[in-house]
Homo-oligomer: A and B are copies of this chain.
């Protein structure tokens, strides 16, 4: 074989780590802007903390503290009451990107990428040079503590100053110092993030200490832990060939038939038989032997079959009653309504549920800007504060003709939308906004319209009773003038004329219920 000269440039060929990539492009993780960066880190830690407690089946209790250390320099402390993290997993859990329990599983969780916590640790490290302190315990009297930093080039965690000692604790506490950030109250603040977290998670107790030292304790509105979502099986609708072959390659089943019935939801025996009739190959062959073309045939057959909607136990939304309670307690609205839609599917067979709450009056609405409407966006109960304009929720809300429902710019209205899914289609790694998938927007519209109709009926009906009471008064106001003019034209007695008119008014309102009668 002839020697092929290597071009000069390949001498510098290197592989590099995902951590290095995101260190250089940290704006992609939400670390851009001094105010936003602080909220982003609170968001990442809280998400992990709540997931941890819930997965264990514990009612979550969060402690969040932001301490001012100097100009543009803060320490963030987040502690949960989850199961704690085994010593040998601490590094991977917080100090390595794309490692964790979340990415691979087809189950509804708050976090889903396995990037967030490590990104936060890395942000602390590159702005202060300091590691993140991790303290964790399973609640067995033994506490593990270490300083965690990331070897960015290798995307590996480094643990230093490891300590083990006895003590009362259950859960995990993270302490990270950060620079080049600013704490500022307002709609993009950690305060607002915490407020919204509590609203969408009424089963969580949160203690929050802000940089000015003020402590807010938000108690649970509900004392039961939400049901855990079941690990889902994929739904055949919206499946792609590549997905299908991927599942086939790791299936335990001996035959495609059983693979379809076991590894997917909503494919019954009779559906399988119908599918067999539509494809040119025998479904008794091994799943792993399926070719791309055969998989394409299957996908086509799927599209023609009518599968049942995905089961509801794989998605656990907030729930009508819980959401109602939270909205009532936190916003004290004059009127509210909650809509929970049935599960639907978007591309790739991913099930999702949309929930909407509207709160009118009381503390509802926002006074920022021209429009008093406040839009609260959630994905798997996690508040989304940034990149509002690109979000499917905003698009859904804007597509509604609110005026038709009696809502204008001045209506004090809070619109809460929670998108629950096994995989949230975020627009970027920063998890700031939900992508504009057609199926998702359609569901949001339907939910919002349903809720808006109910609100509309309230807003419009509100004044009816009052009006009828006013009506009688109206006649009584004009009566004397009519009596006077008429008597002057006709030369009849004014008092007698007035009495005749009064009789007519009384007759007309004889059925009036003073506490709010029926409307005519």
Contacts and interface: CB of A to CB of B under 8 A. Distances in A.
Interface of A: 2, 4-10, 12-18, 20-21, 24-25, 27-28, 32, 55-56, 83-87, 89, 92-93, 96, 98-101, 103-105, 113-115, 125-130, 138, 140, 142, 180, 240-242, 245, 292, 295, 423, 425-429, 435
A332 to B, nearest CB: 38
Contacts of A5: 138, 140
B427 A27 contact: yes
A100 B89 CA distance: 31
Contacts of A427: 27-28
B242 A83 contact: no
Given A13-B92, A16-B103, A114-B16, A6 B86 contact: yes
Contacts of A292: 128-130
A99 B25 contact: no
Copies in the complex: 2
Contacts of A12: 101, 104-105
Given A24-B423, A86-B4, A17 B127 contact: no
The 9 closest A-B pairs by CB, nearest first: A129-B292, A7-B83, A126-B242, A15-B99, A18-B18, A6-B86, A9-B55, A16-B98, A12-B101
A93 B14 CA distance: 10
8 contacts: A7-B56, A7-B84, A10-B85, A14-B101, A16-B99, A28-B427, A28-B428, A127-B240
A295 to B, nearest CB: 8
B127 A242 contact: yes
A56 B9 contact: yes
Given A86-B10, A103-B14, A140 B4 contact: yes
A56 to B, nearest CB: 6
Nearest to A112: B24
Nearest to A115: B21
A138 B245 CA distance: 37
A149 to B, nearest CB: 12
A5 to B, nearest CB: 6
A428 B105 CA distance: 25
Contact of A140 (B2, B14, B24, B180): B2
B83 A21 contact: no
A28 B89 CA distance: 29
B14 A99 contact: yes
A17 B103 CA distance: 10
Contacts of A28: 28, 427-429
A169 to B, nearest CB: 13
Contacts of A6: 86, 89
Interface centre among A15, A32, A100, A429 (most CB of B within 10 A): A15
A21 B87 contact: no
A412 B294 CA distance: 54
B428 A21 contact: no
Nearest to A86: B6
B7 A98 contact: no
Contacts of A425: 27
Contacts of A7: 56, 83-86, 138
Contacts of A99: 13-16
A129 B7 CA distance: 32
Contacts of A10: 85-86, 89, 101
Contacts of A142: 2, 4
Contact of A83 (B9, B13, B180, B241): B9
A13 B101 contact: yes
A432 to B, nearest CB: 11
Contact of A435 (B15, B27, B241, B435): B27
Given A27-B425, A127-B242, A242-B127, A17 B98 contact: yes
Contacts of A435: 27, 32
Contacts of A2: 140, 142
A93 B85 CA distance: 38
Nearest to A144: B4
A15 B96 contact: yes
Interface centre among A28, A87, A113, A245 (most CB of B within 10 A): A28
A292 B130 CA distance: 9
A1 to B, nearest CB: 8
A83 B11 CA distance: 13
Nearest to A51: B9
A32 B27 CA distance: 20
A8 B428 CA distance: 31
A55 B89 CA distance: 44
Contacts of A4: 86-87, 138, 140, 142
Contacts of A18: 18, 21, 98
A281 to B, nearest CB: 16
Contacts of A242: 125-127, 129
Nearest to A23: B242
